[in-house]
Amino acid sequence: MKSQNFFANQSFRALFWPLMALIIILLFNIFFTKGFINVEIRDGHLFGSMIDILNRAAPVLILAIGMTLVIGTGGIDLSVGAVIAISGAVAALMIRPEYLKGVLEYSQAPPLYMIVGTALFVSLIAGLWNGFVVSYLDIQPMVGTLILMVAGRGIAQLITQGQILIFVNKDFQFIGSGFFLGLPFSLTIVAFLLIVTYLLTRKTAIGLYIESVGDNPTASRYAGINARMVKLLVYTFSGLCAGIAGLIITSDIKGADANNAGLNMELDAILSVVMGGTSMNGGRIYLLGSVIGALFIQTLTTTILTRGVNPELTLVVKAVVVIIVCLLQSDKFREIATVKARRVAA
């Protein structure tokens, strides 16, 4: 009886299929990718394929955390990739402002807190803009955030003047390539952000407000919830998450590439959230599901690359696998498949 109740639990059902997909792809790599589970310790730091997957997944994980709250309100944020580019461009310009004038010598860089703070402040403004457009101007979230998705990358290019702004700054590089307690520092950022977001959404009324607004904005308003403010805050938070992801990516590659930084990452973030069980219609959020979805996306990407799939087919293979997982998540599809299987067996 307890077992039946466990399987009937909505949260468990939402997490079951993405978790199974992640386990299957991990098992595939364990059996068919040599040395996949090997973890080495060098200079007190952990290295290996699984550590690399976690490290590479960090930006998508952070984006997915913010995107989960946005989708929970029934919205969507297409601009996170562009905000990544803006955040990285601002940080790189502060580290090496004279580079764009052709001066190769380094001047005195501002303190790290000022570089990080400025980049995150700009990201917050970007998220605030999205929230204002969606909640107070009543523009459809897809259209409202599409504006910044297009304009944001142009802003990043204006900041870097269309150049790839490279730099060397050990303090800043620690964000994306440093280690803490033997693990990449980016994972510490992910863990901190995930814990804070979980506590805010599950131990305070904020999570209830978000799900209420996503489920029925009109009823929420009559219940006394400021739906516009809730949407404004979640889009601002999503912008902050994108800014943090931008700092990780920029510090890791030691450069700001306005054209390619964060390119298409909004799609991976949305896919991670949806695969994790959060409905695009809003009303229910699954942070853990989004984390599992992001890990699956990164593991799948790494698997495709390590199996030597032609670059032209990479996205096609990725799309096919994701479609299969999404179909398995569909109750309707499983019902049809079960009926077909029974008919064939009969």
Q: What is the pLDDT of residue 100?
A: 76
- Is residue 318 within 8 A of residue 300, CB to CB? The reply is yes
Q: What is the pLDDT of residue 8?
A: 59
Give the per-residue SS3 of 139-200.
CCHHHHHHHHHHHHHHHHHHHHCCCCEECCCHHHHHHHHCEECCEEHHHHHHHHHHHHHHHH
DSSP per position, 276-317: TT--TT-S---HHHHHHHHHHHHHHHHHHHHTT--HHHHHHH
Q: What is the pLDDT of residue 6?
A: 54
Structural domains of the chain, ranges and CATH numbers in brackets: 40-308 (1.10.3470)
Cα–Cα distance for residue pair 262/257, rounded to 1 Å: 9
Cα–Cα distance for residue pair 75/214, rounded to 1 Å: 8
pTM given for the model: 0.89
Q: What is the pLDDT of residue 97?
A: 83
- For residue 88, the Cα-to-chain-centroid distance in whole angstroms is 16
Q: What is the pLDDT of residue 114?
A: 94
Number of H helices, E strands in the chain: 15, 6
Cα–Cα distance for residue pair 52/196, rounded to 1 Å: 24
Q: What is the pLDDT of residue 282?
A: 82
Cα–Cα distance for residue pair 172/96, rounded to 1 Å: 12
186 burial class (0-12, 13-18, 19+ CB within 10 angstroms)?
A: buried
Q: Which residues of the chain have pLDDT under 50?
A: 1
- Reduced to 3 states, what is the DSSP secondary structure of residue 73? coil
- Per-residue pLDDT of 108-164, as tens digits, reads 778 999 999 999 999 999 999 999 999 999 899 999 999 999 999 999 999 988 888
